[in-house]
Amino acid sequence: MNARSQKKHLVAANWKMNGSRTGSADLLQSLVDKLGTGRAEVDLVICPPSILIPLSEQSLRDSALALGAQNLYPEPSGAFTGEISPPMLTEYSVKYVIVGHSERRRTFGETNELVAVKFKAAQEHSMIPILCVGETLEERESGSTRDVVGAQLGTVLAGSGIHAFAAAVVAYEPVWAIGTGKTASAEQAQEVHSFIRSTLAEQDPNIASKLRIIYGGSVKSANAEQLFAQADIDGGLIGGASLDAEEFTKICESLP
């Protein structure tokens, strides 16, 4: 348990569009072997590609590892070719769902408004959204990190209200650090995490202090400990390094 704020840390694996059926079964088995009994002070979440959710549900069923999705469409059913609805996810025991990942925002044109609607839909279906926010390199260099992250948060606040953050996770993922091998320094990350917490604290200090704000962007076992030691970093969203059970386990073990 994080003594600073009496909240559990959270580490989530974002497999992105990686993994075959057999390779994923092996990876899930290794994760269950290494982490399946869980740790009292951390919530562990695996977010496989949607097509691997049924397989993952079976593999993780009796373990302490929770299942997450990487995306959802904010309608219960209908003519939305290629999309996956909240009830389809919850039928497979999906507990968490990533919304607003920068790859969705940039490659698939998701706007702050759509992300806010997805956030709301996740909660309406009793899933915990992991809301990703973060700036591009250009935005950082032009000094607009706070404006960008503030607007990303602000649209969700406007749509769902501050109380929604009592059942959500925020992931700060600077776009320039994702999959690039360039991690934000612990100080750079802490600065933005603290900004996120204080922005939400203006509306409700209690909710803000209990909110899990996790960091993502080239986290690996070599840098996890330093990042997780920061006052406002409550865990991680792990991409590339989560595809290796041993490395992911080491990251989870780096929590204070």
| Site for ligand PGA contains 14 (CB under 6 A) | yes
> For the purposes of burial, counting CB atoms within 10 Å of the CB of 17, is it exposed (0-12), middle (13-18) or buried (19 or more)?
exposed
**Residue 129 contacts ligand PGA per CB under 6 A:** no
Q: Which is nearer to ligand PGA, 177 or 200 (CB)?
A: 177
Q: Which is nearer to ligand PGA, 13 or 200 (CB)?
A: 13
Specify the residue, 114 or 237, whose C-beta has the smaller distance to ligand PGA: 237
Q: Does the footprint of ligand PGA cover residue 218 (CB under 6 A)?
A: yes
Binding mask 174-203 for ligand PGA (x = CB under 6 A): ----xx------------------------
Q: Residue 134 Cβ, how far from ligand PGA at the closest point, in Å?
A: 9
The DSSP secondary-structure symbol of 173 reads -
Burial 91-105 (b: 16+ CB within 10 A, else e): eeebebbbbbbbbbb
Among 68, 129, 174, 216, binds ligand PGA (CB under 6 A): 216
Residue type, 256: P
Q: Are 55 and 92 in contact (CB under 8 A)?
A: no
Secondary structure (3-state) at 31? helix
**Per annotation, catalytic residue among 101, 135, 193, 247:** 101
Cα–Cα distance list, 240 to 19, 157, 205, 228 (Å): 11, 30, 34, 18
Rule CB under 6 A: is residue 32 a binding residue for ligand PGA?
no
Give me the least distance between CB of 86 and ligand PGA, in Å please.
21
173 belongs to the binding site for ligand PGA (CB under 6 A): yes
The count of other CB atoms within 10 Å of the CB of residue 4 is 11
List all residues 6 or more positions away from 113 whose beta carbon is below 8 Å from its beta carbon.
155
173 is catalytic: yes
Size of the site for ligand PGA (CB under 6 A): 13
Q: Which is nearer to ligand PGA, 18 or 90 (CB)?
A: 18
**Min CB(204)–ligand PGA separation in Å:** 27
Say whether residue 19 binds ligand PGA (CB under 6 A): no
Which residue's beta carbon is nearest to the bound ligand PGA? 239
Question: What long-range pairs does 81-90 form, CB within 8 A, spacing at least 24?
Answer: 84/50, 86/121, 86/122, 86/124, 86/125, 86/127, 87/125, 89/53, 89/125, 89/127, 90/125, 90/126, 90/127
Cβ proximity of 124 and 93 under 8 Å: no
The residue (of 48 and 217) whose beta carbon lies closer to ligand PGA is 217
Please report, as ranges, the residues that interact with ligand PGA according to CB under 6 A: 14, 173, 178-179, 216-219, 237-241
Q: Which residues are catalytic?
A: 101, 173
